[in-house]
Amino acid sequence: MPTTIKAVLFDLDGTLLDTAPDMADAANKVLADYDQPPLLDHQIQANTSYGAKGLLTAGFGQIPDYLNPLELRQQFLDYYQQNICVSTSLYHGIPQLLSHLEQQKIPWGIMTNKPTFLTEMLLPFFPELMRAQTVICGDTLSVAKPHPAPLLHASEKLGIHHEDCIYIGDIEKDMIAANAANMQGYVAGWGYIGETHTPSEWQAEAILAHPEDLISFINA
């Protein structure tokens, strides 16, 4: 466990924000256009962090050959941006954690695979998140997670050596990216972890049950 944490980088969906209600609503509208039933709760829980592809693949079971995945994704994006923050909310404990980081003068930022245009639409609804000292999105660079480059770019923007940063996310590729970037990865156990997921096997430093649990590592 680290004795000193100099910077914290967060995933967005399933880590800082519970975006599942609005993302699932967009996916369900696409599914309804093709006479498919809505997603079940366990499908939403397991697939929201995988975005349009994850949710729509879960809904269709397998996307039929006669449908264009890119067109389906665009339909999803059209619905989602129309109602991007109807039921989305900060996870309980995130405001307190961010305030603690700021009180300790520990810089923090966001590294998400969400596209820039959606991230820029969503963040202003949450003043706390607008205080992030850097925001790196899935299309900021030519590669996205699980490639380590976006995390390395984010730590550079914070002005902190990457080995002194930690990354918090809720899916396995978040931990793959963190390990590849030589950052310590922590699993957001409150996020979109499905019944078949095995976070204990993701080579993380720890699985955090609640956002406030990180404070104990910061104070260690």
Active site members: 11
Residue 63 identity (one-letter amino acid): I
Which residues touch 2 (CB under 8 Å, ≥6 apart)?
Answer: 166, 184, 205, 217, 220
Pair 185, 179: CB distance under 8 Å: yes
| Burial (CB count within 10 angstroms: exposed 0-12, middle 13-18, buried 19+), residue 90 | middle
